[in-house]
Structure 1
Amino acid sequence: MSTPPILDIKALTKTFGGAGGHTALDDVYLTVPTGSTVGLVGESGSGKSTLLRCIVRLERPDSGAVMFDGRDVHRLRGADLRAFRREVQLIPQDPYASLNPRMTVADIVSEGLVVHRLARSRPQRRDRVAQALTEVGLDPGAMDRRPATFSGGQRQRIAIARALVLEPRLLVCDEPVSALDVSVQAQVVNLLADLHESRGVTILFIAHDLAIVQQLCARVAVLRAGVVVEEGATSQVFATPRHRYTRELLEAVPVPDPLRARTDRAVPGGALTLP
């Protein structure tokens, strides 16, 4: 018997501006298998961020359902809603804006522990913070410093530690490396891959960088103008895209050696060659 998906989005629709307004999501279906890594790609304005906000209850859809572990997240109340808030954690896009500059790292990472009453004493919270910081490759001795003393990549690791300390089942990543330098991007993506391997946490990774999605995600969905136009195994979708829009996205990727890269890409199963 197959394991039910941890996240199942059904006929999701979201319009801004009332009747005749902008339709951000149009009858979206998306399944995220338990323990998987799924990428969601599309150009700016395709609806990726709106879909993310509906998943984590920052926006309410006009119709359809976001099912987490078989329950509609927009119908959750009380203890069930608190459990959802802990089990689904968001990794935001901008590590400079997502951390309170007035708080220490210890306070930032432990805030969820206080809210969810997972560690009642200060020593317990500091132990949990130290474990989370170590897991993301940061020195626990720096927990009493403030975000301004860290680089962008380090700040994003702090944001990841803040999510991990609650032991979530699903990480929703909103283009978490787009604001970072290329060399740092690779480090953060490798960290997420290691966490998926060690913890078994499910990852929904929203991005416009196809190379990163290819590196991290086993499955991919392509969103265009609020509609999922293609979905499947990443290797298959990138090697033999069925939809014209997917092909256009792949052809728009910059490459260091265009002639060689385009030739490689034309071969079924060929690697997506990127700088």
Structure 2
Amino acid sequence: MKFTLLRKSVPAWLILVAIIGTAASISVYVATNLKTTASQPDFSLTANPNRETLLNGSRGYWSTITVGAANNFTGIVSMAVSFPNGVNVRLLKVDGSNQIDVSQVLLGRDQSLNLTISAANAGNYSLVVTGTSGRLSHSVTVNIIARGLALSTNPSPIKISPASSSTVSVTLTSLNGLAGNFTTSFHQNSGFYWGASGIPTSILIRPGGTTTFTITITTQPQFGGGRSTLDFDTPLGSTGFQLYVFAP
């Protein structure tokens, strides 16, 4: 006995209807899921500015961290900041004339916080601010460029006998690209019986460069050692160094 397989053609219009129906189902599924995802309550984190250039050792600069509510988000967002060694940070909320350290914010509307930053040493650093609420978590990165100066003297240490004078070579070195024409000032501490002359009123230093100048230190008969401050006003702020002079 033989069986014969009969082939029956399917009308083209029926195939077209099936394709259109399948495509429509996929479109409805995708649109529904996208709408559901987009409408979920959430929050956001932004930093302004997200890149800071500061003078090492100076008091903190700051970035404004904004915690924003989206799609009627309400709730508590826990805040944390991760940062490398040598950098100090505080996350503060301004309350009138006061600034209060915070680790959480209550959202029903946008909240702004101050991230204060200082760096002990010149270098490039990255800080990460993270907000967490339940399963939701967002982060923003703030990049820090800390620049500065290094000062050295020759001789070092400086030793001068009472009632005498001596020349001292002072060398400034640019750290991490600090440059400019810096105004100098010398602050004499009273009671130490010594003074300095020949200090230039301004110093020009190029990125990564050095500059050297010579000063004359004169002591009085009562001199027994002491210190004074040599300050430099840079484009990023003022930085100072203690000059110690010792009696032999």
TM-score, length-normalised on structure 1? 0.23
Which structure has the greater CA radius of gyration? 2
Higher relative contact order (CA 8 A, sep 6+): 1
Specify which structure has the higher proportion of strand: 2
TM-score, length-normalised on structure 2? 0.24
